């Protein structure tokens, strides 16, 4: 019984540590989402301009993801991987519980690559003038 409790405690501590590590990967998303919520129309216009795509594509992606940062990351992974958005969205739906690294791998992006690491460390949409 005692061994079982110790094992359970170890697993719980591991999971807590793992979830904290995953949450820390994209530290910029909280502020990004807050800024996007303050002016959704401006955010969508910036996405369209940044990724050279139309309103229809922006609205389609925005309707499939829960947060503005997810939309940005989806578009950025599409740009990095040079994959069409329908493929990127299919991978998003398949991998959304597995994390961005898993999605990047399925899109043939090395999670250790310079581009992916830059994405983890920040975005280039709301900082632009």
**Averaged over 24-31, what is the pLDDT?**
74
Residues with Cβ within 8 Å of 64's Cβ and at least 6 positions away in sequence, in order, are 89, 92, 93
- pLDDT at residue 128 is higher than 60: no
Instruction: Report which of residues 92 and 14 the model is more confident about.
Output: 92
Residue 121 has what pLDDT? 87
Q: Specify the residue for token string 């900082």.
A: 127
Report d(CA 48, CA 46) in Å as an integer.
5
Q: Give percent above pLDDT 70 in the chain.
A: 78
Residue 4 has what pLDDT? 61
Q: What is the SS3 assignment for the chain?
A: CHHHHHHHHHHHHHHHHHHHHHHCCCCCHHHHHHHHHHCHHHHHHHHHHHCCCCHHHHHHHHHHCCCHHHHHHHHHHHHHHCCCHHHHHHHHHHHCCCCHHHHHHHCCCCCCCHHHHHHHHCCCCCCCC
Looking at every residue in the chain, the average pLDDT score rounds to 82
Is residue 105 within 8 Å of residue 111, measured between CB atoms? Answer: yes
Q: Give domain limits for the chain.
A: 26-121
Residue 1 has what pLDDT? 66
- pLDDT at residue 61 is higher than 90: yes
**Averaged over 85-100, what is the pLDDT?**
93
- pTM here is 0.76
């Amino acid at each position: 019984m005692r061994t079982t409790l110790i094992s359970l405690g170890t697993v719980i501590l591991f999971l807590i540590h793992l979830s904290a590590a995953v949450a820390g990967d994209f530290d910029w998303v909280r502020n990004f989402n807050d800024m996007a919520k303050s002016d959704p129309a401006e955010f969508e216009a910036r996405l369209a301009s940044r990724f050279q795509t139309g309103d229809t594509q922006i609205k389609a992606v925005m309707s499939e993801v829960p947060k503005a940062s997810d939309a940005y990351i989806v578009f950025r992974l599409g740009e990095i991987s040079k994959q069409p958005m329908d493929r990127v969205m299919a991978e998003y739906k398949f991998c959304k519980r597995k994390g961005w690294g898993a999605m990047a791998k399925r899109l043939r992006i090395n999670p250790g690559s310079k581009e992916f690491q830059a994405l983890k460390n920040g975005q280039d949409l709301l900082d632009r003038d």
